[in-house]
Structure 1
Amino acid sequence: MPLWPVYTGTNAPHDGITELPPPPPWRDFDGGPALPAPDASADASAVSPDRTHRAETYQATAETVQLVNAALYLRRPLLVTGPPGTGKSSLVYAVARELRLGPVLRWNITSRSTLHDGLYQYDPLSRLYAARQGGAGDADDRSGVEHHLRLGPLGTALLPYARPRALLIDEIDKSDLDLPNDLLNVLEEGQYEIPELVRAARHAPDGVAEVLADGTDERVPVARGRVRCRAFPFVVLTSNGEREFPPAFLRRCVTLHLRQPDDRQLAGIVRAHLGEPDAHARTLIDRFLSRAGTGDLATDQLLNAIYLARSADLDADSLDRLAEQLMPYLGQTAPSDVF
């Protein structure tokens, strides 16, 4: 029988991803030639110490484990929603670390982001400059299209890797109205074309171009300007709930809603980051929970308050006032008068 769950949420790295069953017939991709997966040991150097620490200490709920595995089995994107500070973006780093998927590819969305940005970037001006600088027959001629093109995070994730890459599309709700719909076809088909390389392939002997992938200085082969995945990437799209998405987009995603953690989960989070909660930490947890019911608070705020309570040589009253200043409601610039 296939392994379930592949992702366990235990934060212990393993190769269970190799035991995934074959994809559903309608999600079976055959891109090639197969590329080796990036070395998992490069993961720590690819992200900040903060991301590495959060991946190592992420506390997954039973619902999170189930829906992550559903997305992996079905080869579907995972849309993660929830209040700020509930670990939406940290989830993909935890999954990538446990399943040894290599460095996480990250695409931060803004109101100006387009599908093209995620797939690749091409600089025609630098190519024109290179063509003027190089001479005919120059052995170091760098005027070819492939020398002025780099794949984006989405474009890299869809390369024909032998095992899935992990891709974070962060804050998709900040995009303009067209981006979710533009993503539909690419994520459904698992492939895309690079028109500049398609045109160049007509004049190339084998039609293969070596292009830079996102987050690396290594080049990967692209045949005839077409990229098709082999192992569908583990795609996590995060949303703070600032907008609604088209039904067609939601239908193609597995949806996970993260809620504010309860007292048991908060104690586990504190334990993972800072060790066993002491009496003062448990008091702060209780006060955090009582306030979280009337406004948005992030778990980071609680961790900051507990860390300072353990590190600073302050009396109890000073610690309480400092905690109040560290845990204002999100979106509130001035500290609350009520704690």
Structure 2
Amino acid sequence: MNFPFYIGDGTRKRYESPAKLSVSARSQLLKPEYYTADQGLKDACNVALLLGQPLLLTGEPGTGKTQFAYSVAWELGFDPPLKFETKSTSAARDLFYTYDALKRFQDAQSGTVSASFSDYITYQALGLAILRTRNPAEVEQILPSNFPHSGKARSVILIDEIDKAPRDFPNDLLNELEHMYFRIPEFGNKIIEADPALQPILIITSNTEKDLPDAFLRRCIYYDIPFPKHERLAEIIANRLGLHTGSSNPFLQDALNLFYRLRAPQSGLRKKPATAELLGWLLALQTLAGNTANPLTKLDVILPTLSSLVKTAEDQEKAKKLVEQWMLEHKKIIQIG
């Protein structure tokens, strides 16, 4: 194995030049072409596309809500989604644009203020998408001098983790999301509307940390992504990692068996591992085990990789005991078999 692992025992000589790390295998898992949606998610997406409404997705962290937006954009031939990462301080206007009043004041003080007010505006995800549905000539007066506008186009928008925002955030977006427009008070309250023929595709995710207003929910198509059951999860793993031997693959079946053991209520883990963590764990196991057909037959391979699956100190202690118990049971099963 040529991977330059860290040893950290005080005896290793320093590399003469920076170690060459290979491209992370995990990054390959995030490619949108590998995404597989369940039937309910496909149906909800198609209804949202048909009616031109936002698609609101909930579900456990790690069930693929965010990656779904990239899958839709890739499959339908659009550019990657314009992403808005919701913060606890986000205001509705931030979804469309931000205005740097401080920079304009400083430039005015120094005598370098731009003649164009628009040079102090930065358009954000949904603002960009709406602008891109219009001909450049229609909106050139409100575009910064360095704004790239190559022609009319439809965009996919991802509003990620909207439940992190203050409660007023979704309430302040009701009309704008329904009619796809926004105002710029700094330009005399100018209204910019999306061309209906190129209305942006809007996907919103929530981890349900707080309830969303009813008026907001009425304007969305809704789907809760369920945590995949054994057969569905095996399909996801096979598609992402190339383990296409299904039930005949001992590594895949043992991994799922142990994974669901860790997720079970009886495990006592405070934070249950998710699908994304499972995929990373399997990659780590495969790398550390070298040519071993089934890394889950070796406790000294499993335990060092638990940090990718279990994320609190208390849970890691519980997980180690569960793994050791699982290994004892597994050996008994092999002996009986």
- Aligned with 1:95: secondary structure? helix
The residue number in structure 2 matching 1:10 is none
Q: CA deviation at 1:190?
A: 1.1
Gaps of 5+ in 1: 1-48, 136-140, 200-224
Preserved contact between residue 108 and residue 171 of structure 1 (Cα < 8 Å): yes
Greater helix share, structure number: 2
Equivalent residue for 1:292, pick from 251, 260, 263: 263
Q: What pairs with 1:163-312 in structure 2 (closer than 5 Å)?
A: 163-198=153-188, 225-230=190-195, 231-276=198-243, 278-294=249-265, 296-312=272-288
Q: Distance in 2 between matches of 1:321 and 1:276?
A: 22
Aligned pairs (5 A) from 1:50-65: 50=27, 53-65=30-42
Distance apart, 1:77 and its partner CA: 0.6
Question: Which residues of 2 match residues 46-125 of structure 1 at below 5 A?
Answer: 50=27, 53-125=30-102
- CA distance change for structure 1 residues 51 and 235 in 2, over 3 Å: closer, same or farther? farther
> How far apart are the structure 2 equivalents of 1:103 and 1:280?
34
Distance 1:327 1:252, change over 3 A: same
The CA distance in 2 between the partners of 1:184 and 1:160, in whole Å, is 21
Correspondent of 2:128 among 156, 159, 163: 156
Distance in 1 separating the partners of 2:37 and 2:314: 29
What does residue 308 of structure 2 align with? 326
Distance 1:51 1:122, change over 3 A: farther
Are the counterparts in 2 of residues 106 and 153 from structure 1 also a CA contact under 8 Å? yes
Give the Å deviation of 1:326.
3.5
Find the aligned partners of 1:236 and 1:332 in 2 and give their Cα distance. 36
| Cα pair 1:328 1:335 within 8 Å, conserved | no
1:283 and 1:185 map into 2 onto residues whose CA distance is 51
2:174 alignment partner, SS class:
helix
CA–CA distance in 1 between the matches of 2:47 and 2:132? 22
- Structure-2 change in CA distance of 1:55 and 1:121 (3 Å): same
Question: Structure 2 regions of 5+ residues with no counterpart?
Answer: 1-25, 134-151, 290-294, 324-337
Q: Is the 8 A contact 2:237 2:243 kept in 1?
A: yes
Say whether the 8 Å CA contact 1:109–1:169 is kept in structure 2.
yes
Kept in 2, the 8 Å contact 1:191–1:227? The answer is yes
Percent identity, please: 31
CA contact (8 A) 2:129 2:157 kept: yes
Deviation at 1:55, TM superposition (A): 1.0
Kindly state the Cα deviation for residue 178 of structure 1 after the two structures are TM-superposed: 0.5
Q: Quickly say closer, same or farther: Cα 1:228–1:292, change in 2 above 3 A.
A: same
Deviates more, 1:103-112 or 1:52-61: 52-61
- Contact 1:81/1:241 (8 A) holds in 2: yes
May I ask how many residue pairs the two structures share in their alignment? 261
Q: Distance in 2 between matches of 1:331 and 1:244?
A: 30
CA–CA distance in structure 1, aligned partners of residues 183 and 43 of structure 2: 34
Q: Which amino acid aligns with 2:191?
A: R
SS at match of 1:286: helix
Is the Cα–Cα contact under 8 Å of residues 324 and 335 in structure 1 kept in the other structure? no
Q: Is the CA contact 2:97–2:124 (under 8 Å) kept in the aligned structure 1?
A: yes
Change (3 A) 1:143 1:332: farther
CA contact (8 A) 1:309 1:319 kept: yes
Q: Amino acid of the residue matched to residue 219 of structure 2?
A: R
Amino acid corresponding to residue 39 of structure 2 in structure 1 = A
Q: Provide closer, same or farther for how the CA distance between residues 149 and 51 of structure 1 changes in structure 2, counting only shifts above 3 A.
A: farther
Q: Which residue identity does 2:30 align to in structure 1? A: H
Residue matched to 1:34: none
1:317: which partner in 2?
299
SS of alignment partner, residue 131 of structure 2: coil
**TM-score, normalization: structure 1?**
0.70
- Residue 140 (structure 2) aligns with: none
CA-based RMSD of the aligned residues comes to 2.5
- Residues 266-318 of structure 1 show CA distances to partners (whole Å, capped at 9, x for unaligned) of 12221222111641222111221343342632112211221122111376121
The 2-side partners of 1:260 and 1:196 are apart by 46
